[in-house]
Structure 1
């Protein structure tokens, strides 16, 4: 399985430096501290606290963003788009991001079908097909 992550190409920092646990635990986008970091899948995730880092370490798969942190609508179309953090939402326990708020609304118009397509495409991408 490939790890394809929307990350800073130089520092390999995922999620634009935001704390992946905070989205789930406090329902907010919180910048992580570069001194509180963990690696997963060859990429670095930053955290606002040592507690969040410990939570992540116990079950990283739960907290890493869906579709490698790329735009879910883009993945449903088979392409990679960057994301704006303010588009985040938790869907079925997963952090999902979109290109921008307009695309997020478009995704919501047919959410179930778009999620189905994104999941199918992502599975193929991870398998390397």
Structure 2
């Protein structure tokens, strides 16, 4: 048995369609609504999807994933801090390897805290906010700088001076400048 194009006698009334054309139009409206919603989400998302300040550990919430910021300068590598040596600064909880590192940080936190609130510096130089990785870092102009990937670190270091300036220009608008006051 063949049905005419507008024969809707085979459609149950609970579908809410009086004809095949109406069902097709409803389906088209739903797809347009979904596409519009996705487009709006993509436009709005970048304004509030920012890396968290100073790359907190997802479980404990410590800055830099629980690594001691002074250790990057003293030991040349990230070292996990201890809860025995905690300090709150810049809206984050910091942990340190020992009392000496804690005291050094207390005296000059801006010296040891990573630039750009821990955002990835290479992406930031292009105007994008990405979370930096505490294991992928460099000391540039005596400042701790994090990167999203090893490739980003390499590309940044090739032209570090210019990219530091570019990243600094984008830090405010991307949310990668900590509110310290």
TM-score between both structures, scaled by the size of structure 2: 0.62
Q: Establish whether residue 68 from structure 1 lines up as the match of residue 132 from structure 2.
A: no
Choose from 79, 84, 88 the match for 1:30.
79
In 2: Cα distance, 1:55 partner to 1:49 partner: 10
Residues 54-93 of structure 1: per-residue CA shift (max 9 Å, x gap): 1111111111101101110121122221233332111111
Aligned Cα root-mean-square deviation (Å): 2.2
2:60 is the counterpart of 1:17: no
Tell me, in whole angstroms, the C-alpha distance in 2 between the residues paired with 1:6 and 1:108: 21
Equivalents in 2 of 1:108, 1:76: separation in Å?
12
**2:34 paired with 1:6:** no
Q: Does 1:86 align with 2:135?
A: yes
CA distance in 2, matches of 1:95, 1:11: 22
Decide which structure has greater strand share: 1
In the alignment, the residues of structure 1 paired with residue 130 and residue 59 of structure 2 have an alpha-carbon distance, to the nearest angstrom, of: 19
Q: Which runs of 5 or more structure 1 residues have no equivalent in the other structure?
A: none
Secondary structure at the aligned position of 2:56 is classed as: coil
1:53 maps to which of 102, 108, 119: 102
Structure label with greater radius of gyration: 2
1:34 alignment partner, SS class:
strand
How many residues align? The count is 126
Q: Which runs of 5+ in 2 are unaligned?
A: 1-51
Distance in 1 (alpha carbons) for counterparts of 2:130 and 2:83: 25
Moved more, 97-106 or 107-116: 107-116
State the alpha-carbon separation in 2 of the partners of residues 110 and 45 from structure 1. Answer: 31
